Amino acid sequence: MNIRRLNPLVLALGIFVISSCGRGEPASETGSGSGAKTSVVTGTVSLSGSSTIAPLVAELGKRFESLHPGARVNVETGGSSRGITDARSGQVDVGMVSRALKPDETDLTAHLIARDGIAMIVNAGVKVNELSREQIIGIYTGTITNWKGVNGVDQVISVVNKAEGHSTLELFLHHFGLKAPEIKASVVIGDNQQGIKSVASIPGAIGYVSIGSAETAVAEGTAIRLLPLGGVQASTVNVFNGTFPLSRDLNLVTKGTPSGAVRAFIEFCRSAEADSTIRELFFVPLH
């Protein structure tokens, strides 16, 4: 796998590139000796956008390439806003956007591939098991600055917040009825992995990231804990059953109707064939 470095101004840490080639060509079918037809896909699919979706699409890209040796899938991060901008301008074939499209984005078409939730996470040393909506708002607006103010120990709270341009921030603000200038952040981060590392390494830290990324980190022994939200445990299971209150769609977006390798890759990402990979990365499949 080739790794491409992004401009330092791009806040995403993770970059997933799976080689490069020319623009996608239409899929064709060739006959086998038995008379069966096999789809042949060639060309390149370029994607940019959400750091939440990028690791999933990178893995799906590897599988797609193994099925279609003449196809290449290139994935770069940079936030959902970048995915929208690049898809609109034609800079990439597909934007990755970890939210539903807005009313002013109807020039794009969304292709749902999975679902995810946003979890509040704290450093493993924080002695608080649950926070109310009002307490979370108080922490993020700076009216609560010590964990003893929410029945924890005497410890300063370090607030980890997402940078603008990331849909996780937009959804967090919308859910809690906040505006970006109201947030009093100690640390501003880009992608989920940076958020998880920051919360794990800073005593007294709190943040919010993709449930899938957080569950993966906990399974790997990272020093964070997921907090319930609205009395519901933060888990992909509860996203799947519809009980978790802060969930979102994970979309691939295109300008116009996709064709050739682009269409074939999107169809693959939406198919039951992708379900095992989606579950392995702790997201919720469509089927």
H/E stretch holding 30: strand 25-31
- Give CA–CA dist 40/30, Å, rounded: 7
CB 171 within 8 A of CB 118: yes
Residue 15 has pLDDT above 60, yes or no: no
- Give CA–CA dist 56/36, Å, rounded: 31
The b-or-e profile of 148-182 (16+ CB within 10 A means b, else e) is eebebeebebbbbbbbebbbbbbbbbebbebeeee
Give the three-class secondary structure for 26: strand
Q: Mean per-residue pLDDT for 10-27?
A: 40
Do domains 16-115+249-280 and 117-240 share one topology? The answer is yes
- Give CA–CA dist 110/101, Å, rounded: 7
Q: What is the CATH number of domain 117-240?
A: 3.40.190.10
Q: Mean per-residue pLDDT for 231-243?
A: 94
Percent pLDDT > 90 in the chain is 79
Q: Domain locations in the chain?
A: 16-115+249-280, 117-240
**Which tokens hold the place of 258?**
């996709």
Looking at every residue in the chain, the average pLDDT score rounds to 88
CB 81 within 8 A of CB 165: yes
User: Which string of DSSP letters, residue by residue, matches 153-215?
Assistant: -S-BPEEEEEPTT-HHHHHHHHHHT--GGG---SEEE-SHHHHHHHHHHSTTEEEEEEHHHHH
140-144, 163-167, 273-277: which range is least confident on average? 163-167
Structure confidence at residue 208 (pLDDT): 97
Number of H helices, E strands in the chain: 9, 11
Residue 23 pLDDT class (50, 70, 90 cuts): very low
Among residues 57, 62, 59, the alpha carbon closest in space to that of 72 is found at 62
Structure confidence at residue 167 (pLDDT): 87
- Rounded to two decimals, the pTM is 0.77
Residue 166 pLDDT class (50, 70, 90 cuts): confident
Structure confidence at residue 24 (pLDDT): 45
CATH ID of 16-115+249-280, from 3.30.1280.10, 3.40.190.10, 3.40.1190.20, 3.40.50.880:
3.40.190.10
- If one compares 71 and 15, the residue with the highest pLDDT of the two is 71
Percent pLDDT > 70 in the chain is 86
Backbone angles phi, psi at 194, to 5 degrees: -65, -40
Residue 137 pLDDT class (50, 70, 90 cuts): very high
Residue-wise pLDDT tens digits, 26-35: 444 443 333 3
Structure confidence at residue 191 (pLDDT): 87
CB 156 within 8 A of CB 204: yes
Residue 106 identity: T
27-31, 49-53, 114-118: which range is least confident on average? 27-31
Structure confidence at residue 28 (pLDDT): 46
Residue 38 has pLDDT above 90, yes or no: no
Structure confidence at residue 182 (pLDDT): 98
Residue 4 has pLDDT above 90, yes or no: no
Q: Mean per-residue pLDDT for 61-80?
A: 96
59-68, 151-160, 194-203, 211-220: which range is least confident on average? 211-220
Residue 2 has pLDDT above 70, yes or no: no
